[in-house]
Amino acid sequence: MGEHAVVYGQPAIAVPVAGLRARATVTAAPAGSGIVLVARDLGTTWRIESANQQISQSEALPFVVAHTLRHLGVLGTPDLRIELTSDLPVASGLGSSAAVAVALIRALAGHFDRCLEPAAVSALAFEAERLQHGTPSGIDNTVVAYEQPVWFVRGQGMETFTVGQPLRLLIGDTGLTSSTREVVGDVRAAWQGEPARYEALFAAIGQVSHLARQAIEQGDLPALGRLLSENHGLLQELGVSCSELDRLVAAATSAGALGAKLSGAGRGGNMIALVEPETSDAVAAALRATRARQVVATEVA
């Protein structure tokens, strides 16, 4: 809850998605081979000749490696082979870039027998998020690093809170990729052109987040469902939804979901629906019938 508005100081809520993981393994490589980073899902291999080399915007993963090694105080360029895989679809609003960054950071720290606290992991991952997304809120790296439901206000850090009743969520994938950097940039340009209108929308989204936290803590699922749908409507007004997302949201609510909304930057990626045990199968079937590429079920307790 609270996408886009969180960039402008409003609160947001995020929860970890159990069962979808990014995984990194680090092993010693032959002497003189340098650092080889293999991203199997992307079909890409990078060779990092120096931990101090300049990294471009398109090379966020090598940046994570070099930045983490500097943070760990690793001298020179160690000989390493790093292999990375991920269950999360890329550019889809599920925080895949943050998950991959956190996996790399933890794997590198473990290889050098270092234990990093979640706050340090989150801070390192945030630097990669900035490289990829321009002006990220910081919520993705925070919820992934802590693996807990969080209440987040930019500049004030994060706060965990109690879930009064388990939340059953279905995640529907449009199959469309979306650039967070571009969408966030478009919202910023629109805000600069009509500041009063967009600040009112951001404030309304922030109010929805406040009410949603109360509903989650009280276990009031019907109220939370209504707020999810209200949040989606406000994101539509911001111009960050798309016809594919809107169709999946409508299909979910028509099939019995308590509420539904897009997730992440928008204009593609995923939507989420809040369901009850007796409606979960029907909503999942409706999402598939509306051409969701994938439907993932998860529970937040």
Q: Which residues are catalytic?
A: 140
Q: How far is CA 74 from the centre of its chain?
A: 29
Question: How far is residue 119's CA from residue 86's CA, in Å, rounded to a whole number?
Answer: 22
Nearest C-alpha neighbor of 12 from the set 151, 132, 213, 204: 151
**Residue type for position 139:** I
Query: Which residue's entry shows tokens 């949603």?
Result: 212
Instruction: Confirm if 31 and 77 have CB atoms less than 8 A apart.
Output: no
Strands across the sheet with 150-153, in order? 12-14, 150-153, 157-160
Question: How far is residue 121's CA from residue 254's CA, in Å, rounded to a whole number?
Answer: 41
**Tokens in use for 186?**
């478009």
